[in-house]
Amino acid sequence: MIARHPLASWLLRRLLLGIVVLWGAATLAFIALHLLPGDPARLIAGAESETSPAVIAHIRAEYGFSRPVLVQYGIFLAGLARGRLGTSYQLGQPVSAAIGGQLWSTASLALGAAVIGLVLAFALAVTTAGRPRLRAVTSTFELVCISTPSFWVGIMLLTAFSFRLHLFPVIGNSGISSLVLPWITLALPIAGVLGLVMREGMERALDQPFALTVRARGATEHRLRLRHAVRHSLLPVLTLSGWSLSQLLGGVVVVETVFARQGIGELVVNAVSGRDFPVVTGVVLLTTLVLVVINIVVDLLYRVVDPRLRAVRP
């Protein structure tokens, strides 16, 4: 039945591939954490000098550290197959609860930055495409946004708007005001990349014969840009949007550290330093799942933007 629906067949293949990607990410996380120096049992116990060998042996037996690595890996995969991420060694609570408690803080930061970046890129491209003087100014601005490290941008924004002007909180998660500077920090690189690509696509579209035809029919320049040129520039923008969102997930960790915000970034940093394997694995799987979903959605949006792709077998 699925074979009669090419799109459904393609989607099924992508979902199966996504499962393979999740398995690969979990396996790499398992290998990486087991290669880190140090005894996880001692890290779980706390102060090494005050922990007796009997306590360390009990922790190794309880968490299965004394078993062969392949046995640990098999138990780990079996738990994942049943949807069990385990219990945090440090926090003493289920991994799903530990991640869920910080998820909204990170999601609100990432989603807000993505929206601001896309809106800013759209505004820059529409207003400067085909206008050499404005293009020169905004191109410089976009290149600076792309090449400047996020942590430096965050520090500069904190210095200017928090320490000097006292307009926004310095640290913490105290409402919308505490999100403004982190949003801007994450949004600027996205706006820089997408703005450059969208403007190039719009300028190519404005030089096409159809643009002359639209103008001859009496359409205004504003209508030509918004109704026709933008649509022709969306395919490369969609491609880079998936990449930008994946980069955004990595940037969230840095920005949360700079602005001292609670979230997934702080959680994973503490988990890696404490060898909290279940938490690290849960965050890795969550990030990988988000990337898989983003890639599938972007590929489906290609068909919405370009009707010619709807006739092509997936």
User: Would the pLDDT of 3 be above 50?
Assistant: no
CATH of the domain at 154: 1.10.3720.10
Q: What is the residue range of 55's domain?
A: 38-84
In terms of pLDDT, which residue wins out, 207 or 255? 255
* 121 and 65 in a common domain: no
Cα(163)–Cα(169) distance, integer angstroms: 9
| Domain count across the chain | 2
User: Is residue 93 in some structural domain?
Assistant: no
Both 50 and 122 in one domain: the answer is no
- Mean pLDDT (the chain) is 79
Q: Is 311 exposed, middle or buried (0-12, 13-18, 19+ CB in 10 A)?
A: exposed
Question: Residues near 230 by Cβ (< 8 Å), separated by ≥ 6?
Answer: 122, 125, 126, 198, 202
pLDDT at 52: 73
Same structural domain, 231 and 123: yes
Strand partners, 87: 94
User: Is 132 among the domain residues?
Assistant: yes
pLDDT tens digit sequence for 263-301: 888 888 888 777 788 888 888 888 888 888 888 887 777
Least confident of 113-117, 156-160, 167-171: 167-171
CB burial string 14-39: b at 16+ within 10 A, e below = eeeebeeebeebbeebbeebeeeeee
| Interval 126-155: pLDDT, tens | 888 778 888 888 888 888 888 888 888 888
Please give the model's pTM, rounded to 2 decimal places: 0.75
